[in-house]
């Protein structure tokens, strides 16, 4: 009885968790107010600029994207630990990473070095064919969607059919031809997983080679967190 009561308390807490974010008025915020507020102020996954603006239409580089992705995985791991579930991805183990130690443009003195190496080991991000990281390169919709899709696949694999059906977009259930990423490319499956599960809007299909904006990053990250929270509720509920 005590165990069931504890699980019910956790379930109620999960239902109310998103409402804990404080309302902060960014002087330049035009849209995605709730998503930005939660991702920036509640979960601290993204930062504002020195003048306290969000500049949502700006792009992000690969260094910034790596930091956001690392923080997101850490958050998702902690959320799973709260309900006594295994981490979704181990980003703490940096053994057996020799293949990533000689990236020509990634210094070990870089403040994000260990985070980037951890992400490279998980396969969520990749180096270029010339063994460079190109951290200052702006992330496009394809690169962002592929990374999010790879992360989504970890959550998706543990999800029951009822959630998979709920998450999947009716519009994208049919096969889609994407000229930038051929169907035989290893990037095609994670890209489609991100699109099919509404981590990016449908309109993104026509913008795949264009830079991803900070608004879109916040919105997609928010959607991913919500999906994990739905999975957590399901796991707790099925244990009662």
**Which DSSP string corresponds to 120-131?**
HHHTSS---TTS
CA dist., res. 78 & res. 84, Å (int): 10
- Tens of pLDDT, residues 131-162: 999 999 999 988 998 999 999 999 998 899 99
Amino acid 2: pLDDT: 46
Amino acid 77: pLDDT: 94
CA atoms within 13 A on the CB side of 23: 0
Amino acid 100: pLDDT: 87
Tokens of 55: 């500049």
Closest CA to 41 of 55, 60, 20, 57: 20
Per-residue pLDDT in tens (0 to 9) along the chain, 240 residues:
445 545 544 444 544 444 444 555 667 776 667 888 899 989 999 998 988 899 999 999 999 999 999 999 999 999 999 988 999 999 988 888 888 888 999 998 999 999 999 999 998 999 999 999 999 999 998 899 899 999 999 999 889 999 998 888 755 555 566 777 788 888 888 988 888 888 887 666 667 788 999 999 999 999 999 999 999 999 888 865
This prediction's pTM? 0.85
Burial of 219 (0-12, 13-18, 19+ CB in 10 A): buried
Phi-psi region for residue 52, left (φ > 0), alpha (ψ -120 to 50) or beta? left
Amino acid 170: pLDDT: 59
Phi and psi, residue 188, nearest 5°: -65, -45
Amino acid 172: pLDDT: 57
Amino acid 21: pLDDT: 46
Tokens of 207: 């913008």
CA dist., res. 186 & res. 144, Å (int): 15
Domain ranges of the chain: 2-239
């Amino acid at each position: 009885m005590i165990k069931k009561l504890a699980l019910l308390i956790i379930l109620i807490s999960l239902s109310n968790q998103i409402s804990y974010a404080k309302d902060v008025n960014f002087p330049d915020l035009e849209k995605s107010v709730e998503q930005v507020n939660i991702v920036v102020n509640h979960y601290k996954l993204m930062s504002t600029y020195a003048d306290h603006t969000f500049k949502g239409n700006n792009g992000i580089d690969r260094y910034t994207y790596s930091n956001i992705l690392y923080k997101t995985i850490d958050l998702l791991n902690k959320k799973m630990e709260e309900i006594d579930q295994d981490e979704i991805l181990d980003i703490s183990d940096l053994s057996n990473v020799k293949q990533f130690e000689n990236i020509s443009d990634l210094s070990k003195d870089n403040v994000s070095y260990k985070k980037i190496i951890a992400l490279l080991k998980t396969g969520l991000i990749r180096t270029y064919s010339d063994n460079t990281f190109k951290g200052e390169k702006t992330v496009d919709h394809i690169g962002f969607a592929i990374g999010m899709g790879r992360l989504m696949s970890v959550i998706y694999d543990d999800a029951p059919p009822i959630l998979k059906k709920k998450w999947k977009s009716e519009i994208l259930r049919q096969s889609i031809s994407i000229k930038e990423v051929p169907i035989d490319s290893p990037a095609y499956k994670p890209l489609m997983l991100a699109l099919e599960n509404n981590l990016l809007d449908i309109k993104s299909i026509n913008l795949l080679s264009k830079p991803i904006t900070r608004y879109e990053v916040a919105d997609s990250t928010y959607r991913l967190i919500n999906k994990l929270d739905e999975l957590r509720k399901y796991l707790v509920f099925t244990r009662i």
